[in-house]
Amino acid sequence: MDDGFPPPPSMSHPGIVALDITDKFASAPFRRVKLSKMATSLYLSLSPLSRSWTRRWTVGCLEEGESLDEEYDTARDLLPEEVLGIIDQLLCLETILTSVYVEALLRDPNAPLSSMTFLRDSASQAKQPKFLFVLRAYCAGMLRGCHCVNEVVKDELYYEEEDFVTNTYDRKFLSHIEIAEVIALLQATRADLRELSNDVPKDLALALDLRLDCFPLRKANPDSLKMPWIQMKELMKHFKKQHALAKPVPEAFSTKMQRRLASTMPPRPIVHLSFDDTYTHFEQMFQDGKDAMDVLKYVDPQSLLHFVSIFQARNPQPLVFIRTMTQGLLFKDMIVLGHHSIRRILDDDLAIVVLRVRQLDPANDTIEVPTDPRHQLAVQMETFRQRAAECYLDLFRIFCQNRCRVRRTLCHSIQQWDHLQADVEEIDSLLQVCLDEKSLTTAMGNIGHSLPLSSWAYLYKLRQMEWIVQLGFELDIYQPDELAGMYWYLNYLAKTRAQHGDRIKTFVLRDFTAAQESSSWSQTKERNYTRSIAYIRVTMLDAACTWEFADGLCCLYTVLQRLNLVKTPSRPYSNDEHRYEIRMKPFVNIGLPQLPSFDDFTKATAQPETSITELLKYAENAVGGAKKGYEALSRMNDLQTFSVGCHDRWLTNIKGCQKSAIFAGIAITALQKAIETEGENAADLKLKVELPQSGKGYHDWWIVPKLVPKSES
Amino acid sequence: METATRATELPGELRYIQYEHALEEQYLPAIRALISKDLSEPYSIYVYRYFLYQWAHLCYMASSSANSNTMPPHSPATHRGYIAMLAVSSAYRGHGIATALVKMAIDAMADRNADEVVLETEETNTAAMRLYERLGFLRSKKLHRYYLNGNSAYRLVLLLKASVKPPPPLLPLDSASAAVVAAGGGGTAEDARPVSPTH
Amino acid sequence: MESSEAEAYLNSLINKTLRVYATDSRMFVGTFKCTDANRNVVLALTHEYRQPSQKQLAEAAASFSSGTVKAEMTSRYLGLVVVPGEHIVKMEVEEFVSQMKNKSALGQRALYV
């Protein structure tokens, strides 16, 4: 890769002389020299480097007798089992730039494939060690493969260093060589290897042959995109069995190799991953790769969002290659999943979430008379799509990031959606004139106009706000005495979402009733309305579960804090209000729902008017309600829950929530019983609280405390 | 730190010293040795000087025969204090030395009108996290694979002054990040929202 | 050297191109930015040069039958670096021949001021 490094200056320019200043420099009485001015100018130049100043940029010096040049001779003779050993070691590496063979092969970056060898000159070519050609072909395939992976990763959003290092420090991984040429080399090598069958034990020959077969560089048939992943997984099983035949050659790898790279970074340590661990990683990656292809089975955008968010939430998360590949499948060339326009996805989503048949009718686009309201509809809807598309597609992309970034990026995303909601509300009011929509009066009074577009944006914004809080639990952001408050806030957000869902439902039902009576009623329309109503139901059920469960846990943690079973540190440098400000910073600028004031938040969380017994009773009911809700959800099918294509994973997720609710119920009961017999004095309860370690609970988003008897001490 | 064997008595009397440049020759080698032993990240001598020259008045050491130190500067433009490189020699742990040093640093930064103090700590360093959290720090975000050794970090924040309310509603990023970026200092530019990559 | 003179001298080197030779026979060529009491030298826009190894020399010698053997110094770009003072064996400053001539008329000291 050309990183735009300046070319090295010529060492022997006739116009330049080098004067020896060693002695003069050394004789300067440094101790007395005031360096502050010099230093300050340097530090000023350093500060924009931000984080990189923490990295070492002292040039490492070699120990006495140590040489920077690798003494290893890449022309040495290798036994076939050593070739296999090196190949398997390469498989286990985090960076292949520690291999002397890779270094040797890349010596001349622009050489044609035919002259890329481990040997320095043509003289030694003739007496080339017998099995070296196998390693050469493997390295060529591996490097070209690594180049492809790098390109896939770099095409999408990922974080360099944090997720992956695509930087090859001016090393070209055979990017100038056609894939077909590399494949031809691999095939020819396999044929040559067969010729040597008398010199290599059969099982070893097979092991080498299969390793030359492991580069799915061929253009895959789009109908069988899963095949390479399935094949690789099978091959890997053979590799595992055959690994015992390999004889390692540790001296063929050295961190020193990296000192030749154009970089101020210190050499990366060689991470010694065992072959078994490597196998596990690859096996999981091939499985993930295969599973990721299911994303192409598009049914509806809600199922798609479920697919992406649940697939990427697995712990451990899919590797960056899978995450960037998923992004490629989703968005490559601005065509969703290789088939669908962004408009189609967006309109599908609106039709599910806030169905307004007349707004979404594609026939509106054909009306050219500017005064026709249908023309107006088409124009306004296009304005909406232009405004909303990026925010909407970013949601899918965000979930393909590492979990820390998902949370941090959502914090920025909700600001965008907050603006989006305000902007599209203007479009809503223009449309409501075009459609001559009347405001709606229900038993609750006048609830205004339907505002479908801003309703849509608001629903997504609320969901993202919940995700931010839930990811906080997952990433272990909150201290134990923050849990009550954060579950209260989650309950507040979910409740708002449930109420908002109810408002949407009211308008969809009004339209549904009116449409049924109209002359243009059709089966398609009926299907669309049914689907929309089903979506709102399941959304409200999901929101209600979160609302209840979070409410229950809030009450439980509040009780635990009152009983001092969850302790509050003294925090001499802070106060509750300051910490509330930091904690709620992502939400403070959001217009709707407005962040509760610190006093309201404190009162709602601590519930000072409510007794411990009442709080526990309340928690019991809420958690019980959530448990029933999850049960109901788990009985619904993939169509009803908009989890087509990912229902298994979706169900596992719901079951995890359900299990968490069951165990929260057990904790509440245990506490109720203890209080019944021992009273509300913490010391008498002889209980202590255990919180699950991060990632070790029944569900990462629900931190359920365990109450265990306190051992007498 | 809590799990380290507690010396029942400190070997010798402890002195807390505010760093100044004249002390470099006397103390810096020991400081470097201590920090390179206890913290995973490799630092060059100029990283030490980056802190020690510019913010000597905010750097503290505790010394008897061994020593510990903390070097917290804050950027005057943003009033965001920063704590870096805190380490206590293992034989001296469990005596509240680290807490004392952090308190001195926070006090000094509060005196100089800092609005908040931030730092990063390795996710595996539970002792450090407990120390800071007991003083009032909160984890504000998790940073994936932040350190060279592949470990993630938490950013911890201590708010010293409440921000002026109400905040302007149309700021593109949270105001602190934006301010730091503008000052060319902190490391929060990476937090900018993702833009779909250009092809 | 007097303290003020030394300081002036060091300051005069700032932003000049230095060649710093290290104990392990590497050479760093970069713009001088800073030094300190331990003679650690900070260079910007640095390139590292390494002497060809014995092996490379031998190989080069083998492939050329004629009298002169030419083996390239290998180089790579490093950027901003610190060369530890203890590892420095030799330092050179690059000067333009044209300027040298002008300066020599003003005496050697002019170089350092």
Which DSSP letter does residue A296 get?
G
Which residue range(s) make up the domain with A184? 80-296
CB atoms within 10 A of CB A68: 18
In a domain, A633, yes or no: yes
Residues C22 and C77 reside in one and the same domain: yes
Contact between B133 and B157 (Cβ < 8 Å):
no
Residues of C in contact with A22 (CB under 8 A): 88-92
| DSSP letter string, C69-95 | ---PPEEEEEEEEEE-GGGEEEEEEEE
Residues C4 and C31 in one domain: no
Q: How many Å is the maximal CA-CA distance in chain C?
A: 56
Q: Of A279, A296, A313, which closes a domain?
A: A296
- In this prediction, residue A5 carries a pLDDT of 60
Q: Is residue A197 part of a domain?
A: yes
From the list C85, B37, C90, the residue with the least C-alpha distance to A58 is: C85
Query: What is the pLDDT, as a whole number, of residue C110?
Result: 36
In this complex, the chains that touch C, judged by 3 or more CB pairs closer than 8 A, are A, B
Angle, CA A390 vertex, CA A434 and CA B175 arms, to 5°: 110
Q: What is the pLDDT of residue A265?
A: 62
Q: Testing the interface with C: which of B23, B28, B44 to mutate, by most C Cβ within 10 A?
A: B44
Decide if B140 and A585 are in contact by the 8 Å CB cutoff.
yes
Which structure tokens are listed for A283? 């096996």
Structure-block tokens of residue A180: 């077909």
Task: From chain C, pick out residues whose CB is under 8 angstroms from the CB of A256.
Answer: none
Share of chain B above pLDDT 90, in %: 23
Question: Within a domain: residue A360?
Answer: no
The per-residue pLDDT for B181 is: 23
Cβ contact, residue pair B144, A402, below 8 Å: yes
**Please, which residues have CB within 8 angstroms of residue A680's CB and are 6 or more apart in sequence?**
A563, A612
User: How many other C-beta atoms lie within 10 A of the C-beta of residue A224?
Assistant: 10
Q: Which of B35, B41, B95 is nearest to B69 (CA)?
A: B35
Q: How high is the pLDDT of residue A256?
A: 77
Looking at the fold, whether C23 and C77 belong to one and the same domain comes out as: yes
Q: What is the pLDDT of residues B70-128, one digit of tens each?
A: 444 443 445 888 888 888 888 888 888 899 999 998 998 898 888 999 999 999 999 99
A52: Cα separation from own chain's centroid: 24
Chain A positions touching B192 (Cβ under 8 A) are 412
CA atoms lying within 13 Å on the CB side of residue A56:
16
Residues on chain A touching C24 (C-beta within 8 angstroms): 61-62, 66, 68
Q: Is residue A12 part of a domain?
A: no
The count of other CB atoms within 10 Å of the CB of residue B34 is 20
Q: Is residue B92 a contact partner of residue B109, using CB atoms and an 8 Å limit?
A: no
Which domain, by its residues, includes C112? Answer: 1-13+96-113
The confidence band for B182, taking pLDDT boundaries of 50, 70 and 90, is very low
**3-class DSSP state of C48:** strand
**Token pair belonging to B18:** 């505010």
Which residues is B143 bridged to in the sheet?
B153
Cα gap B170→B67, rounded to integer Å: 48
Alpha helix ranges (H) inside chain B: 24-38, 45-54, 97-111, 126-135, 175-183
How far from A298 is each of A289, A305, A390, A644, CA to CA, in Å? 17, 11, 20, 9
Mean pLDDT by 10 residues, chain A (713 residues): 57 76 76 48 42 43 55 88 95 87 87 85 70 93 91 89 83 90 93 91 94 71 78 93 95 81 66 89 93 91 96 91 93 83 93 87 87 91 95 95 96 97 95 89 88 97 98 97 98 97 95 90 92 96 98 98 94 96 96 96 97 97 98 97 96 98 97 92 87 93 95 65
Adjacent-strand bridge partners of B157: B118, B138
Is position A42 within any domain? no
Q: For residue A220, what are the CA distances in angstroms to A227, A508, B162? A: 8, 45, 58
User: pLDDT value at position A273?
Assistant: 84
C101 and C46 inside one domain:
no
- Identify the pLDDT of residue A333: 78
Q: Is residue A72 part of a domain?
A: no
What ipTM is given for this predicted complex?
0.85
Q: Indicate the number of domains in chain C.
A: 2
Q: Which two tokens stand for residue A434?
A: 């075009």
Chain B contact partners (≥3 CB pairs within 8 A) = A, C
A153–chain B nearest CA distance, Å: 11
Q: CATH number, domain at C64? A: 2.30.30.100
**How far apart are alpha carbons A685 and A697 in whole angstroms?**
25
Tokens representing A114 are 């035919």
Identify whether residues C1 and C34 lie together within a single domain: no
Looking only at the bridges linking them, the beta strands covering C74-83 and C88-96 are unpaired
My answer on whether C81 and C111 are in the same domain is no
* Contact (Cβ atoms closer than 8 angstroms) between residue A43 and residue B50: yes
3-class secondary structure, B68: strand
Determine the residue among C33, C35, C39, C40 to mutate to test chain B binding: the one whose Cβ has the most chain B Cβ atoms within 10 Å. Answer: C40
Q: How is residue A171 written in tokens?
A: 């090393």
What secondary structure letter does DSSP report for A416?
A: H
Helical residues (DSSP H) of C14-111, grouped into ranges = 54-63, 97-106
Give me the total of CB pairs closer than 8 Å, taking one residue from chain B and one from chain C: 12
Let me know whether C68 and C110 are in one domain: no
Query: Total domain count for chain A?
Result: 2
User: CB of A428 within 8 A of CB of A182?
Assistant: no
Rounded Cα distance between C61 and C68, Å, is 8
C75 or B68, which is more confident: C75
**Is A160 an interface residue toward B (CB < 8 Å)?**
no
**C106 and C75 housed in the same domain:** no
More confident residue, B175 or C21: C21
Alpha-carbon span B116 to A582, nearest angstrom:
10
The token pair that represents A485 in the structure block? 């408050």
Are both C86 and C46 inside the same structural domain?
Answer: yes
Q: Hunting for tokens 């286990």 — which residue is that? A: A92
Chain C: closest CA distance from residue A127 (Å): 16
Does some domain include residue A665? yes
User: C-alpha A73: how far from its chain's center?
Assistant: 43
DSSP annotation string for A392-403: HHHHHHHTTS-H
What is residue A227's predicted lDDT score, i.e. its pLDDT?
A: 86
Q: Please say which residue of A243, A276, A296 terminates a domain.
A: A296
Domain boundary pick from A275, A296, A317: A296
CB pairs under 8 A between A and B: 154
| pLDDT score at C59 | 65
Domains of chain B: 15-181 (3.40.630.30)
Q: Which residues of A touch B138 (CB under 8 A)?
A: 479, 482, 574, 579, 582-583
Of the candidates A464, A447, A340, A482, the one whose C-alpha atom is nearest the C-alpha of residue A392 is A464
The pLDDT score that the predictor gives to residue A683 is: 79
DSSP-derived letter for residue A588 is: T
> To the nearest 10°, the Cα dihedral for A512, A515, A520, A521?
40
Let me know whether C85 and C113 are in one domain.
no
Taking the Cβ of residue C74 and every Cβ of chain A, the question of whether any pair is shorter than 8 Å is answered with yes
A428 CA to centre of own chain: 34
- Nearby residues of A84 by Cβ (< 8 Å), 6 or more positions away: A204, A207, A208, A211, A242, A245, A246, A247
Other CB atoms within 10 A of residue A153 CB: 22
Per-residue pLDDT tens digits for C10-50? 888 888 899 999 887 888 999 988 887 778 888 888 888 88
The CA-atom distances, in angstroms, between A675 and each of A556, A562, A563, A680, C32 are 13, 13, 10, 6, 74
B42–A405 CB contact, under 8 Å: no
Given a cut of 80, whether residue B14 has pLDDT beyond it is no
Cα(A641)–Cα(A688) distance, rounded to whole angstroms?
Answer: 39
pTM: 0.82
Tell whether A570 is covered by a domain: yes
Q: For residue A446, what is the DSSP state?
A: E
Contact A435, A451 (CB under 8 A): no
Q: Which of residues 13-32 of C touch A (CB under 8 A)?
A: 13-14, 17, 19, 22-24, 26, 28-29
Residue B194 clears pLDDT 50, i.e. is over it: no
Which pLDDT does position A668 carry in this prediction? 98
End-to-end CA distance of chain B: 49
